[in-house]
Amino acid sequence: MIGWDGIIVAQSKQGNILNLTRRHLWKALAKDLPIDGQLVPNPHKLWSHVDPSLPAVAIQVFGPPPTSGTRDVFVEEVMANGCRGSDYVEQLSAPTRKVVCGAMREDGVYVEAGEDDDLIVRRLKSNPKAIGIMGYNALERREDIIKAVNIDGVTPTFETIRDSIYPLSRPLFLYVKNEHLEALPNIGSFLKEFMSDEAIGEEGYLTENGLIPLQDELGRSMKAQVLKLTAQ
C-alpha cells in the first residue's frame, strides 16, 4: 500500500448545493429498482423523485465507462452499499444481488463520458445542473470550476480521505513480482525512488499529482517492508 485516493461526486460551482447519500445515488442511477415488490426500470427523472428534500432538478450524471477502475470503485462502494436495506434486494442470491445493485442506467441519465476527468469537468461547466464522478485530484486541479458534493454527510478532503472517514476513499497499491526482482535488478532502484520522500512524501511529486500519502507511522512501515524486498 502506497497511499490513498478518493472518488468524488462533483458539480459546477454554479450549481445547486447537493448533499447526497449512497442510497440517493443508487436510487438515482440504478438501471432497475424494486418498486411494489417488482423490479422495474428506474422511473426517477428528477432528484426530488429520489427524495422530496432534494431539488426538482433533472438527474444528469457524467461518469466513467465500465472499463474504468473509478467506475468499479463507485459501483462497489456506492451502488452496492446504497441498495442495502431493501427487502426485495436482501432476498436475492448474492450473485443476483451484485448484478441488480451494480447495473447502471442506460437511458441517458447516466452518460459514459470517458476516463478523462477534465472532459467531465468541462461538461459540468457547461451544464451546472449535472454532476460528475471523478478522482479527487480533479477537484484540487479545477477547484475554480467545480465543487464536491457531500456524501453521507462527509466532505471529501485530504484529511477525510487519508483517514478513511470519507466513504469513497480507496487505498492504492503497488505490486511487484518476486521473480522480477532477480531478473530485473533495476526494479530495486525503482522501488527506492517510488518510496522516497521526494515521490510520496507530503510534498512529493506523486502527491502533487493526486496521491494522498500514508500517515507517518504507516508510511515508514510500508517503506521499510518495500526496501527489504529481495528475490525469493
With contact defined as beta carbons under 8 Å apart, do 206 and 200 qualify?
yes
Confirm whether 141 is domain-assigned: yes
- Percent of the chain past pLDDT 90, that is, above it, reads 51
CATH number at residue 80: 3.40.190.10
Q: pLDDT category, 214, cuts 50, 70, 90?
A: confident
Co-location of 151 and 209 in the same domain? no
State whether 109 and 209 are in the same domain: no
Q: What is the mean pLDDT of residues 46-65?
A: 95
Q: Are residues 197 and 110 in the same domain?
A: no
Residues 180 and 214 in one domain: yes
What is the structure's pLDDT at 177?
85
Cβ contacts of 223 within 8 Å, gap of 6 or more: 195
Where does the chain show beta strands of DSSP type E?
3-12, 19-20, 32-35, 38-41, 61-63, 110-112, 131-135, 146-148, 150-151, 169-172, 212-213
Question: Are 105 and 142 in the same domain?
Answer: yes
- What DSSP assignment string belongs to 39-70? EEE----BHHHH-TTS-S-B--EEE--TT-HH
State whether 126 and 108 are in the same domain.
yes
pLDDT in tens, 124-157: 999 999 999 999 988 888 889 999 999 999 999 9
Shared-domain flag, residues 159 and 199: no
Structural domains counted in the chain: 2
- Residue 122 lies in domain: 3-170
Residue 118 counted as domain residue: yes
Domain membership flag for residue 138: yes
Q: Are residues 69 and 153 in the same domain?
A: yes
Residue 111 and residue 208 share a domain:
no
Is residue 187 in some structural domain? Answer: yes
Q: Is residue 69 part of a domain?
A: yes
Q: Considering the domain boundaries, does residue 232 fall inside one?
A: no
To the nearest 10°, the Cα dihedral for 62, 168, 217, 137? 10
pLDDT band at 232 (very low <50, low <70, confident <90, very high): very low
Average pLDDT over residues 178-204: 85
Q: pLDDT of 73-109, one tens digit each?
A: 999 999 999 998 888 888 989 999 999 999 999 999 9
Are 37 and 135 within one domain? yes
Shared domain check, 208 and 137:
no
Range with the lowest mean pLDDT among 53-57, 81-85, 120-124?
A: 81-85
- In this prediction, residue 231 has a pLDDT band, given cuts at 50, 70 and 90, of very low
Q: Computed from CA positions of residues 150, 154, 159, 165, in that sequence, does the dihedral angle turn out positive or negative?
A: negative
Prediction pTM value: 0.86
Nearest to 113 by CA among 71, 171, 159: 71
| Cell numbers describing residue 118 | 477534465
Q: Which of 123, 155, 170 is the last residue of a domain?
A: 170
Give me the mean pLDDT over the 59-85 stretch. Answer: 92
Answer yes or no: do 126 and 78 share one domain.
yes
Within a domain: 125: yes
Least confident of 63-72, 75-84, 187-196, 207-216: 207-216
